[in-house]
Homo-oligomer: A and B are copies of this chain.
Amino acid sequence: MVKYVYAFEEGKAGMKQLLGGKGANLAEMTNMGIPVPPGFTITTEVCDLYNKSKGNYPEEVDRQVDEQLKKLEKKMNARFGDAENPLLVSVRSGAAVSMPGMMDTVLNLGLNDKSVEGFIKKTGNPRFVYDAYRRLINMFGDVVMGVDHHHFESILTQLKEEKGVEFDVNLEAEDWKKAVEEYKKVVKKVAGKEFPQEPKIQLKMAIDAVFSSWGSKRAIAYRQIHDIRGLLGTAVNVQTMVFGNMGTNSGTGVAFTRNPSTGDNHFYGEYLINAQGEDVVAGIRTPEPIDHLKKKFPKIYAELEGIYKKLEQHYKEMEDIEFTFQEGKLYMLQTRTGKRTAMAALKIAVDMVKEGLIDKKTAILRVQPKQLEQLMHKQLDPKAKEKANVIGKGLPASPGAAVGKAAFTADDAVKMKEAGEKVILVRTETSPEDIQGMNSAEGILTARGGMTSHAAVVARGMGKCCVAGCGDITVDESKRQFKAKDIVIKEGEWITLDGTEGKVFQGKIDTMDPQLSGDFGTFIGWADAYRRLGVKTNADTPKDCQKARGFGAKGVGLCRTEHMFFEGNRIKAVREMILAETEEERKKAINKLLPYQKEDFVGIFEAMSGLPVTIRLLDPPLHEFLPKEEKDIKEIAKEMKVSPEHLKGVIDSLHEFNPMLGFRGSRLGIIYPEIYEMQARAIIEAAIEVNKKGKEAIPQIMIPLIGVVNEAKDLHARIKRVADDVIKTSNARLKYKIGTMIELPRACIVADQLAKELEFFSFGTNDLTQTTYGLSRDDAGKFIPKYIELGIFEKDPFQVLDAEGVGGLMKICIEKARKANPKIELGICGEHGGDPESVETSHKLGLDYVSCSPFRVPIARLAAAHAVLKEEAAKK
């Protein structure tokens, strides 16, 4: 005989799949001797049977419910539907995963025209009883019989009008009795059926309604959105009613065993006297802080204190609890793991280890890597935010908050910053030319582009707040303004960005500083002890290097050199190089950059002394260094001493239909070898100079976008020749490595050939995702949201590394590479390096390290530890 129904004392916390979270925890508490109103749980299997059979489950279920009901009657010394001493119960849903508010509840079940009399006898409080009865009819009518709530609401409004009173509290027993009659009438009228008087029928109908609610549109959508899978259904909990609204000696409350915002080990919560749970939630009356309870009901508080401490000790977790006291007697109605902020999660994890409650592994798994992002950036003051005017919503491209005056060109941003202003750079989209403006800004807002658009990537690299692809706004750079529906924001007007939520606000909103508590260091140190993956950073400046080093990066996994080409006078030399008509001219121009590049690298090597620094040679197509607008072309032509027509001709000849698939990366190095030769020289000269100062530079030269082995052979030979020549001439000793980014599917297929020529591979997973999917990250933003909504993509592959497709290619690459060259170092330096799920994929693929932007280094460190611990757990 299958057991379909469990009395609370028959279950335990480990039976969540069968009893649901609420049921399992009620059982656990019951068995711990904590006062829980008695009851029983109908299993999730019955829900499954209900849904599969379109409402027909075995009669055995009814039999077992009946049996449990009898035991309950006996235990409570009361009888269901009794005219003297009626048993009242609640019917509540509860799946294995919490789905708050998604399914239905019916209270006060067991009341009818007969038992209402018995209940009055028992309580001596007719007003309370009729109120309870009309609440039952309302909830039952709404949830079980499909009579919308507003029907009941309008009866109540009419009653109060007739009586000339404003609040429910002014209504008396007779009024509620009248309401009961009216409610019954409206049920019959709308549902076409009487409100059932037989309590057992009420119960069966309520149970079925809960099971049915599992398949409601609302619940299905909720599960899709929250990616909840593999559940049988919901359980149903039938529990003896207790009443917090039975007078001033009754009450109800919710609490956390520790502060969920700060993590302080201090009981935290609120309660209401003479109220039911729903009154707390509805927010009609303002609840009182939990410590008032200590003064007003010291006995209850003491008992509650004992219980919450016992629960924490038992669950070894911060718990979120619900309680009710009825005429001075305390009952626990729920316990579950409490949600918390990042700061709280960290503090609670560390504290609990110190208290000996949990071990370090458990502590590590208690903090979600993504949560750490909350700690890294400025935040908006939540209270100020509530009152502010949201004028647009875009992608949460780079977290944190920024407040500043709108600027519409990079130059304007620089000038305003120089004049002491705080600036938000607002652009339709950004390009590498905007880099100085972005640097001067507090935050960046763009109307176009995705999570990995230029603006987003650069902003995250800079640790600056960014809202990207905000389709709600239209930017008019020429008029120096943007429009968001009817609102026009002009240059110099204040706006505020919330990069964590992707929101744009009008005006100034107060911000709060981030706090990296001492707990952080302790905690992340524990994580480091478990992880196998190394964590490096993507950083282009000494400042970023220092920041990342502070966050625990063990080297630079990606230093892009193209940003350096835009600064100050350099861009002029770059343009001279592009406009050169002979190799001689080109060399002359490019060599002007040598001292600058060397200086850049000296700073970076110094900041990263003793750690490897991977420098990527020039990658973007040359047209990115030339102007686009007619006006700029004229200006720059004048500066370059060429005719605007000539410059335009060069720009036209460099135009590309698909720049992502164009003349860039190693292709530049092959066709214009002098560029990479100059860069190799600058790197090696810088390293030698740094070493002479007693520091240790460990350069790793990375060639971008290699697809065929001959590119690797040719460029490796060229770079090595220059490097060895510099070392020999300087009479120095220096070890360096030469490697490549793996960004092309073809590179993965011929990885064995490449691995024989090179010493390291770093997966550029942004570009590899683009080429593997045939999807431009700048263009895909238009349909990826719809793809996810339709379930075509489970996740945005530019945010979470696609383990199946891109990962499948990486696996081929890694196997071939390791077989051909067992010493090869393998890492990942795409934006995915800072995404926890992608870090886990990287771990499973057997990479040596991940590299990510400085602010994501702690996230990657924690995610890497999680990957190990999850793997361990899966093996058990």
Contact = CB atoms under 8 A, between A and B. Distances in A.
Contact of A779 (B657, B774, B805): B657
Given A710-B792, A792-B670, A779 B745 contact: no
Contact of A663 (B656, B745, B782, B808): B782
B774 A767 contact: yes
Given A657-B660, A708-B805, A771-B771, A671 B783 contact: yes
A796 interface: no
B805 A710 contact: no
A772 B744 CA distance: 6
B671 A749 contact: no
A793 B780 CA distance: 31
Interface residues of A, number: 49
Interface string A745-760: 1100110000000000
A82 interface: no
A742 B780 CA distance: 20
Contacts of A78: none
Contact of A745 (B667, B772, B804): B772
A812 B745 CA distance: 13
A196 interface: no
Contacts of A708: 792-793, 805
A662 B744 CA distance: 17
Interface in A185-222: none
B749 A773 contact: no
A774 B808 contact: no
A705 interface: yes
Contacts of A782: 663
Contact of A658 (B772, B778, B792, B808): B778
Nearest to A805: B746
A802 B750 CA distance: 12
Contacts of A808: 749-750
A661 B770 contact: yes
Nearest to A748: B745
A31 interface: no
Contacts of A786: 670-671
Given A670-B790, A805-B749, A661 B658 contact: yes
A787 interface: yes
A635 interface: no
A670 B791 CA distance: 11
A806 interface: yes
Contacts of A749: 772, 804-805, 808-809
A834 interface: no
Contact of A743 (B705, B774, B780): B774
A773 B792 contact: no
Nearest to A804: B750
B774 A707 contact: yes
A446 B462 CA distance: 45
A124 interface: no
A835 B773 CA distance: 27
Interface in A634-670: 656-663, 667, 670
Contacts of A711: 792
A288 interface: no
Nearest to A662: B779
A776 interface: yes
Contacts of A714: 790, 792
Contacts of A658: 658-661, 776, 778-779
A489 interface: no
A579 interface: no
20 contacts: A657-B778, A658-B658, A659-B779, A660-B776, A661-B661, A661-B770, A661-B774, A662-B780, A663-B779, A670-B786, A671-B786, A745-B774, A745-B809, A746-B773, A746-B774, A746-B806, A749-B804, A749-B805, A767-B774, A771-B771
